[in-house]
Structure 1
Amino acid sequence: MVNITYSTDYRLCPPAPKPPGRTGIYFLSYITTFPPNHFALKIVLSGPYLSILTTLLLHPYMPQKKPSNFSPEQQLHSLDARLVLSLQRLSDMLKALQWEQARTLGLTPLQLQILLFIGYHPAELNKVAHIATELQLSRPTISDAVASLVSKGLLNMQPDKRDRRSFSMSPTEAGQELLSKAEEYAAPLTEVLEKRPGFEKNNLYQTLFAMIAGLMNKESGGLQRMCYTCAHYQGNKKRQHNCLFLNKALTSAELQIDCMYHSSLS
């Protein structure tokens, strides 16, 4: 007696019934969709006196592990892999520029980020808890960096009038002077962007905005004051965008990531 079971996923193949006192033959077929198709046969012989497991893996049809975007071989064939690597390279280059600028100013990269954020945002956002969420770091980490900036005379701390346990921060005069130098690390990128045509930058921004929104939806993009999460936004998140606060229609390239008028959705 021969029992045959087939499935596109070998894990879902139920065991064929074993007739008592007889040898059963179990035949499974596993096919992947990753090109080229991989094919493996698994034959199991079992009986009261015999138990043999034979797996035939016919090269080059052996199942392959999931391709990696960081593999040069995968990058030859996948545009997505090349895009992931390009964004990673760009991030690494900006980090290197930021580290060098921070070192020149006698700061850590985190202190430089905090100084830049506090220097250009209102008092209600310049609190340890909010900055920790913004930078996706722990509150103790932000508190230590802020304390160092205060000790260097670059930040002032003011108690919140509504909550004396909470403090907001603002740059001192020395902090303001350092602020203009702190942002210079991004100058090389700005110079590159200035040389690109407008339509190219519009398309690039729309793509980056959509990617950030996609990551944010998966709870891995931190806190974003962007149009899609704003109570003033009205539209279909495709081609129709309106800002109720500004009372105007927006193009996709005008959507904001760090808007000063952002109001959280209730």
Structure 2
Amino acid sequence: MSNVFSLKNKVAVITGGASGIGLAMAKRFISSGAKVVIGDLSDATKVAEQIGATFIKVDVSDEESVKKLFENTRAQLGPIDIVANNAGICPEFKTLNEATKNDYEFAFKVNTLGVAFGLKYAPRYMNDGGSIINTSSLSGKMGVFGLGAYCSSKFSAIGLTQTAAVELGDRNIRVNAICPASVNTAMAQENDQSQLEMEKIMIPLNRIAEPEEVAAVAHFLAADDCAFINGQAINVCGGMTAGIGPRLWEKLAGSAGDEK
């Protein structure tokens, strides 16, 4: 049983791996035996050295840069087994009436094109039977006030995931997406704290996720043990989508009472 969910000798590439969810994935994959490349726009040389990974700079919004990431990985470490298209950004909170073309372009060039380019080039340098994991969001399955640009870019990531799962099936390359609610990362903490407090009320577990908890789902999807899971978008939301819990019920009931 010691080999359960082992990633021994697997080669993994993680975009957005310098911090947050991506870094948690890198650490977990390495602890399970994988050789990991962190791809990021920020210089993660020191971080990579500390955890035993390799750093390759990449701009996921640039097609040629993404291609070179996978080319260089294969040249340095051999054929790739696992790819996590994880890099992402969140634009400012704006209603649909307020959002501009630039807001949509900002979200789509990273959250959507970053996944699309990864799905285009990674398979060329992958072993058959590999696994691709795209980081979408719970906001890729449901609308959120003020996050039209972000939601639409993350919905697109799920569409790309399902299309790739169909197209790459003949090579036994599985493609799945992870859809977290808010996660305790620097990016989340930079946002309006009222959003995080709201989610804590909505989530039955009464907290947001930790990066390591999302990384655990990525590990599950990366392992050969999960060879028949394909084309899925898995919620990591602490039960937020399961229904209305007591804290939310009390909050809503109290608000309704205040209005009377």
TM bucket normalised to smaller: under 0.3
Bigger Cα Rg:
1
Higher RCO, 1 or 2 (CA under 8 Å, sep at least 6)? 2
Structure 2 length as normaliser, TM-score? 0.23
